[in-house]
């Protein structure tokens, strides 16, 4: 309700201002041009948020001090702490960052945003800044019209800077003209009352404009024109700092648990910093005066003193909160727990991430792994095997032979509660994200969508296999029991190998050679499947001719073998898509060595390859026992 009221109230206030003074139009136009410039600047920087930014994130945020520096530098370049906050929430939601790293970036972003105040107070108000804006706008528009992505991105950045400078010039001239009509200093409020009132005004202005930078520049230009008092300007700066958290909170509304935690941390940091500054405002003002004397800033140069104040209280906030960051992290994890729902929800898909192709692909990749983890349990239970046994160091043949108790599961219900919502979210997220992607990224996205489809198809096949599997693993007929155990062993071996690949891939210092070897072992499993296919190698006919199984058993075995092999093919294909596309040289090589189905058939026809999976099949008695259909 409150959010809906902001727009009409803002329009009414602007209309009243236009009626009150023609010069107010120039100030409002300056703010509008400035905000438009920020939008263009954000658009330009989004152009460069592909794989390069992801690599920079990985190498620049592995330590807390690096995260802090990353926040300072990126905010200095982008001149928008709000954009950095949204970016950080997006990458955190996609799993590219940990919460502690995200908090470090947010702390640094608060300090980085102070550079804008220095640029405007030290440079923008002392020269004809509009003269610099014009060439930037001309070159920027020319570059924006180019087809090349890099040129277009640079064009948006130049045009954005041009509009920022132009907006500042309009605001400066507007306030100078405005004071001939109305002297706003007549509305100055002194003491604690003024401090709290103008802090509230600063928060409100930042919420309306969605930019603390715009509020701060507006404050500096008004201060330079002597339209507000120095003390009230300090309060406005504090309010702008607190108000900027609203952007992060709005951005985190559709985020996952990690995104909400980061937005909460941002709010706590800025409110704590604001409260400390308000309580010790006199000490801060004295510190600003002392620093001004040491740096030869004139006593009446209030715009530069405001920039000093803005930097000082953000720096103090970092120094106060940095030792408490681990405590803050634990509090946020406790305060924003994982949502418990009966239907499993996606963990890494966040709407804001769709604007950043590299982060979007990483989110889809991680969500696909999340989907596979859920599918793993369904497949394992459908085979009457426990996940812990498959992932243990136990001998799989022994595990399969001793796991004869039926695990009662409803695959349909598990699909609805553990798989369907995630799969649907991935498809929807992919459709939105692909609009921003380059051809190579679209190719990878297509592969990931195929991997997700493979997982879903495997679950559907395990549903078909489940009933007969539970029946025949307890049959008194040794042949049918061994054949179904062979299928279970094959699928369990496949699942164990894929999980070993995932564990090794997840390690930051993984052994690339072992990882490549495990990836290639998936081809070995496919060779085993092709060679031990009882329909193609004549084994099924042998069983029927020698009355080792009934015709009904033979039909079930033939169909269920197809289901089992299809499940194995699907999850192997899924694993090769997920893990054989690494940028590492060894993994790329392993991807190139992966055999296709035709090559597998040729190998099987040329040689008889011994395999562990064949042992169960070879265990079929050579004699012809009396048929037992129990």
3-state SS, one letter per residue, for 107-160: HHHHHHCHHHHHHHHHHHCCCCHHHHHHHHHHHHHHHHCCCCHHHHHHHHHHHH
Terminal CA-CA length for the chain: 69
Question: Which residues does 119 contact at the CB level (< 8 Å), separation at least 6?
Answer: none
* Whole-prediction pTM: 0.67
C-alpha of 243 from chain center:
25
Query: Domain residues of the chain, as ranges?
Result: 22-335, 356-618
Residues 248 and 86 sit within 8 Å (Cβ to Cβ): yes
CA distances from 611 to 490, 529, 530, 531 (A): 11, 10, 11, 9
Q: Which residues of the chain have pLDDT under 50?
A: 582-593, 607-630
What does the block give as tokens for 445? 């996205």
| 179 DSSP assignment | T
What does the block give as tokens for 119? 């640029």
Report the 10 Å Cβ neighbour count for 416: 14
Report the 10 Å Cβ neighbour count for 240: 30
Closest of 129, 50, 53, 63 to residue 100, by C-alpha = 63
- Give the whole-angstrom CA distance, residue 150 versus residue 47: 7
What does the block give as tokens for 26? 């120039």
Closest of 183, 254, 241 to residue 213, by C-alpha = 241
What does the block give as tokens for 12? 């009414």
- Give the whole-angstrom CA distance, residue 8 versus residue 245: 22
Residues 78 and 42 sit within 8 Å (Cβ to Cβ): yes
What does the block give as tokens for 140? 């920027």
Helix axis angle for 551-579 and 439-472, nearest 10°, is 150
Tell me phi and psi for residue 183, to 5 degrees.
-100, 105
| 562 DSSP assignment | H
Across 512-545, b (16+ Cβ under 10 Å) vs e yields beebbebbbebbbbbbbbbbbbbeeeebbeebee
Largest Cα span, the chain: 112
Question: pLDDT (tens digit, 9 = 90+) per residue, 183-213?
Answer: 556 556 788 888 898 899 888 888 777 677 7
Helix, strand, or coil (residue 47): coil
Residues 241 and 270 sit within 8 Å (Cβ to Cβ): yes
- Give the whole-angstrom CA distance, residue 517 versus residue 15: 70
CA distances from 439 to 190, 218, 250, 271, 446 (A): 60, 43, 32, 44, 10
Burial class (CB in 10 A: 0-12, 13-18, 19+), 254: middle
Closest of 486, 313, 308, 310 to residue 397, by C-alpha = 486
Burial class (CB in 10 A: 0-12, 13-18, 19+), 509: exposed
What does the block give as tokens for 387? 């996940």
Helix, strand, or coil (residue 589): helix
């Amino acid at each position: 309700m409150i959010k809906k009221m902001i727009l009409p109230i803002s329009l009414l206030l602007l209309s009243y201002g236009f009626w009150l003074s023609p010069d107010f139009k120039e100030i409002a136009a300056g703010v509008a041009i400035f905000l438009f410039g920020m939008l263009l600047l954000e658009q330009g920087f989004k152009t460069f948020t592909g794989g390069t930014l992801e690599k920079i994130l990985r190498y620049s945020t592995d330590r807390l001090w690096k995260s802090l520096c990353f926040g300072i530098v990126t905010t200095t370049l982008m001149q928008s702490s709000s954009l950095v906050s949204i970016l950080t929430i997006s990458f955190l939601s996609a799993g590219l960052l940990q919460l502690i790293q995200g908090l470090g970036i947010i702390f640094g972003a608060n300090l980085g945003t102070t550079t804008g105040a220095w640029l405007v107070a030290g440079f923008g108000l002392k020269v004809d800044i509009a003269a610099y804006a014009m060439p930037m706008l001309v070159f920027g528009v020319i570059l924006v019209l180019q087809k090349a992505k890099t040129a277009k991105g640079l064009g948006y950045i130049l045009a954005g800077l041009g509009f920022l400078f132009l907006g500042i010039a309009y605001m400066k001239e507007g306030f100078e003209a405005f004071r001939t009509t109305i002297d706003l200093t007549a509305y100055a409020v002194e003491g604690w009352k003024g401090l709290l009132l103008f802090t509230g005004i600063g928060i409100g202005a930042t919420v309306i404009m969605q930019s603390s930078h715009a509020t701060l520049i507006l404050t500096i230009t008004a201060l330079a024109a002597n339209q507000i008092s120095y003390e009230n300007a300090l309060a406005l700066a504090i309010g702008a700092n607190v108000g900027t958290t609203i952007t992060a909170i709005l951005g985190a509304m559709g985020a996952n648990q990690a995104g909400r935690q980061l937005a909460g941390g941002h709010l706590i940091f800025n409110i704590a910093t604001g409260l400390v500054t308000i309580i010790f405002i006199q000490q801060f003002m004295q510190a600003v005066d002392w620093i001004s004397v040491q740096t030869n800033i004139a006593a009446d140069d209030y715009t530069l003193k405001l920039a000093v104040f803005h930097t000082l209280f953000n720096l103090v906030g970092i120094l106060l909160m940095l030792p408490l960051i681990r405590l803050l992290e634990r509090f946020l994890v406790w305060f924003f727990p994982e949502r418990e729902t009966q239907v499993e929800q996606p963990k890494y898909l966040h709407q804001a991430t769709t604007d950043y192709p590299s982060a979007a692909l990483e989110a889809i990749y991680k969500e696909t792994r999340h989907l596979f983890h859920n599918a793993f349990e369904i497949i394992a239970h459908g085979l009457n095997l426990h996940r812990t046994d498959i992932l243990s160091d136990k001998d799989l043949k022994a595990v399969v032979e001793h796991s004869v108790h039926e695990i009662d599961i409803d695959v349909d219900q598990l699909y609805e509660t553990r798989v369907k919502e995630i799969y649907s979210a991935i498809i929807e997220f992919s459709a939105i994200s692909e609009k921003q992607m380059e051809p190579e990224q679209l190719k990878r996205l297509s592969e990931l969508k195929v991997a997700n489809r493979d997982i879903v198809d495997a679950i559907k096949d395990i549903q078909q296999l489940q009933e007969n599997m539970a029946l025949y693993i307890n049959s008194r007929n040794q042949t049918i029991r061994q054949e179904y155990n062979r299928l279970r062993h094959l699928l369990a071996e496949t699942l164990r190998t894929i999980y070993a690949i995932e564990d090794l891939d997840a390690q930051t210092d993984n052994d690339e050679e072992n990882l490549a070897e495990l990836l290639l072992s998936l081809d070995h499993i496919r060779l085993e499947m092709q060679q031990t296919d009882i329909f193609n190698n004549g084994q099924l006919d042998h069983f029927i001719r020698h009355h080792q199984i009934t015709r009904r058993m033979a039909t079930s075995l033939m169909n269920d073998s197809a289901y089992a092999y299809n499940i194995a093919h699907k999850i192997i294909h899924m694993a090769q898509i997920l893990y054989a596309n690494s940028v590492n040289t060894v993994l790329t090589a392993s991807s190139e060595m992966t055999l296709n189905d035709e090559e597998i058939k040729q190998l099987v026809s040329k040689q008889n390859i011994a395999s562990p999976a064949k042992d169960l099949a070879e265990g079929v008695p050579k004699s012809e026992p009396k048929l037992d259909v129990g």
